[in-house]
């Protein structure tokens, strides 16, 4: 696997994660889901270890 391929896969995974999070947020804002299901912005994310530094 080349560097570019690995980078593209990481970026694609981040995009999918962001899309899922936005869908949950949209549903919560529409009243379809409880707000407790939204991830807290200050909680550590296992998928983005750089954000925990």
What's the predicted TM-score (pTM) here? 0.50
- Answer whether residue 40 is part of any domain: no
d(Cα 48, Cα 18) in Å, to the nearest integer? 12
Contact 13, 47 (CB under 8 A): yes
Can you give the residue range of the structural domain that contains 21? Answer: 1-25
| Total number of domains in the chain | 1
**How high is the pLDDT of residue 51?**
53
DSSP class per residue in 4-42: HHHHHHHHHHHHHHHHHHHHHHHHHHHTSS-GGGSPPTT
What is the tens place of the pLDDT at every residue in 5-53? Answer: 999 999 999 999 999 999 999 999 988 655 555 555 665 555 655 554 4
**Residue 44 domain-assigned?**
no
Separation of alpha carbons 6 and 35, rounded Å: 34
């Amino acid at each position: 696997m080349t560097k570019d391929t690995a980078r593209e896969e990481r970026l694609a995974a981040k995009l999918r994660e962001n899309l899922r999070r936005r869908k949950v947020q949209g549903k919560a804002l529409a009243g379809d889901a409880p707000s407790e299901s939204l991830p807290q912005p200050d909680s550590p994310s296992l998928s983005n270890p750089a954000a925990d530094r």
